[in-house]
Amino acid sequence: MLRWRQSAAITKFTLPGLAVAVALALPMMSSPADAAGKTITAVMHSDLRVLDPIITTAYITRDHGYMVYDTLLGMNSKYEIKPQMADWKVSDDKLVYTFTLRDGLLWHDGKPVTAEDCVASLKRWGARDGMGQKLMDFTKSIEAPDAKTIVLTLKEPYGLVLESIGKPSSAVPFMMPKRLAETAPDKSIPEQIGSGPFKFVQSEFQPGVKAVYDKFKEYKPRSEPTDWQAGGKVVKVDRVEWITMPDAQTAVNALQSGDIDFMENGPYDLLPILSKDPELKIEVLNPLGFQTFTRMNFLNPPFDNPKIRRAAFLAMNQKPVLDALVGDPKYFKVCGAVFGCDTPNATDVGAETLIKGNGVAEAKKLLAEAGYDGTPVVIMAPTDVTTLKTQPIVGAQLLRDAGFKVEVQATDWQTIISRRSSQKPVKEGGWNMFFSNWVGADILNPIANVATSGRGKSNGGWFGWSEDAELEVMRDKYARATSVDEQKKLAAEIQKEIYDKVIYIPLGEYKVPSIWRTSITGLTQGAAIPMFWNVDKKD
């Protein structure tokens, strides 16, 4: 997820060029439907281009999914799974989960939502998503005995059935009509028809310019209060328009002048000035924030040597990384929890040197014991993503301080995305280390957090291809655990194994504030996404 480019602080109307930019943007924000009712204009963190929320884990596509589609279950702020489209009951032997669709559910084309639609949707999601794949490994069958009933039967008890179906972030098990859900999992669905609170206006979609959503008037929200992704989704405006403005200064100027209503990612460097504007409100809407991390390649020297990986781990220090990335300690936290700070699975087990930054001397000693021969550590460093620019530079210096030779190779992020899938030696285009971020909702447990896998090169492991059979046994135990206490105990054991073997290295957490005009009311916190239901706009 991108943070806006850092820029010189500005105030309203101080830069004529920005006024021109906003004026040029106005035609793309207007539409004939504006006069029909209340419209919220929002600048999101990214341009929307891919529309199918199952074939990609891109966060902007996930956000689009929540506008158009609905989910069977939702997670609240206590990390509890609650009914959304369906209620459920579980058999005494924990093998059969029966979901019953609530009354009044309709697709945007007017047809009723059926259990067959949902079965097909679960199967398509289960073929793509990591938690979904694990759930399907334990699933004997998913059937629809009638139009309102979904029956999921397990091969053996599995502790994450509800957590999987109610997961709040990529890839979310969104429900789709059967005819769309039967699209091959690696192919994009041909149209956007959901049963969610908004309808996607395909005729007005302009990639790189705007995406438009109209209120789905036939949507029947739940009666409970909204609590993260649980509760009622009451739409109080007629339309939401996502406007593409990649330049932070242009977006801020448009926000201050009232040409847009909401900016998802506020630029840290402008917050002190913007906080003085009485017409603006600044607040973090995603309390789980983001975890930034680094991942090593287990296949290539020097990190094919576990002692050298451990030396690199001891060299890392979260505080300087977060200082460079965010700057303001109000928006970051030094935290050793692999599965997220302040979450049910949070623990600092094994993270002392990351938190205190006191591992350099031990790293030097271990590096000497390992017989490090000066093989360069090739770090892939993106030049075009603000939230990923600083970590490679700081990380490289921390490694150098411990005695590593480091080569930082700068390129654009899309090149890194492609290159990190290479298992070739460094001389043939391979790599040793990369840095990235993910939203807290994607790392809440060892099954959701894909970097905790020990599946290795030949068994579909994640980039870096860590291989650890013991870790996989532990993850399966977690998947089978049916009590919170047992899951928490296993999560701590898994975290210790992750740090001991240096499966990956969390480098702390940060939060990105959103900014909106005070004419907008009802924005609430959610697990990962800005929610436009329950939001109103004053005339």
Please report which confidence band the pLDDT of residue 127 belongs to, taking 50, 70 and 90 as the band edges.
very high
Residue 8 in domain: no
| Residue bearing the bigger pLDDT, 29 or 85 | 85
Q: What is the mean pLDDT of residues 284-291?
A: 94
Residues 383 and 461 grouped into a single domain: yes
Q: Summarize pLDDT for 168-191 with one digit per residue, the tens.
A: 998 999 999 999 999 999 899 999
Tokens 């050793």 belong to 336
Residues 106 and 225 grouped into a single domain: no
Residue 191 in domain: no
Q: What is the mean pLDDT of residues 520-538?
A: 91
Helix (H, G, I), strand (E, B) or coil at 534: coil
Residues 247 and 380 grouped into a single domain: no
Residue 34 clears pLDDT 70, i.e. is over it: no
Please provide the average confidence, as pLDDT, over all residues in the chain: 91
Cα–Cα dist 246/6, whole Å: 12
Instruction: Give me the pLDDT at residue 455, please.
Output: 87
Lowest mean pLDDT among 30-39, 107-116, 333-342, 405-414: 30-39
Residue 18 clears pLDDT 70, i.e. is over it: no
Lowest mean pLDDT among 84-88, 226-230, 457-461: 457-461
Run of H or E residues at 141: strand 139-146
Q: Summarize pLDDT for 141-170 with one digit per residue, the tens.
A: 999 999 999 999 999 999 999 999 999 998
Residue 11 in domain: no
Last residue of a domain, one of 120, 153, 181: 181
Residue 15 clears pLDDT 50, i.e. is over it: no
Tokens 């019953």 belong to 100
Closest CA to 323 of 508, 476, 481, 477: 508
Residues 275 and 230 grouped into a single domain: yes
Run of H or E residues at 20: helix 16-29
CATH number at residue 84: 3.90.76.10
Residues 361 and 295 grouped into a single domain: yes
Q: What is the mean pLDDT of residues 116-131?
A: 95
CA 412 vs CA 119, 309, 324, 379: distances in Å: 40, 26, 20, 13
Instruction: Give me the pLDDT at residue 292, please.
Output: 97
- How many domains does the chain fold into? 3
Residue 7 in domain: no
Q: Summarize pLDDT for 336-392 with one digit per residue, the tens.
A: 999 999 999 999 999 999 999 999 999 999 999 999 999 999 999 998 888 899 999
Residue 354 in domain: yes
Residue 182 amino acid letter: E
Counts of helices then strands in the chain (DSSP H, E): 16, 21
Could you tell me where the DSSP H helices lie in 413-505? 413-419, 469-480, 484-501
Run of H or E residues at 67: helix 59-68
Cα–Cα dist 96/155, whole Å: 9
∠ at Cα 412 (411, 418), nearest 5°? 95
Please report which confidence band the pLDDT of residue 36 belongs to, taking 50, 70 and 90 as the band edges.
low
Instruction: Give me the pLDDT at residue 408, please.
Output: 98
∠ at Cα 531 (528, 535), nearest 5°? 155
Q: What is the mean pLDDT of residues 492-516?
A: 96
Residue 162 in domain: yes
CATH number at residue 420: 3.10.105.10
Residues 476 and 533 grouped into a single domain: no
Instruction: Give me the pLDDT at residue 460, please.
Output: 77
10-24, 101-115, 378-392, 448-462: which has the highest mean pLDDT?
101-115
Residues 464 and 523 grouped into a single domain: no
Instruction: Give me the pLDDT at residue 35, please.
Output: 42
Tokens at 65, concatenated: 């999914």
Lowest mean pLDDT among 12-21, 199-208, 425-434: 12-21
What is the domain extent for residue 86? 73-181
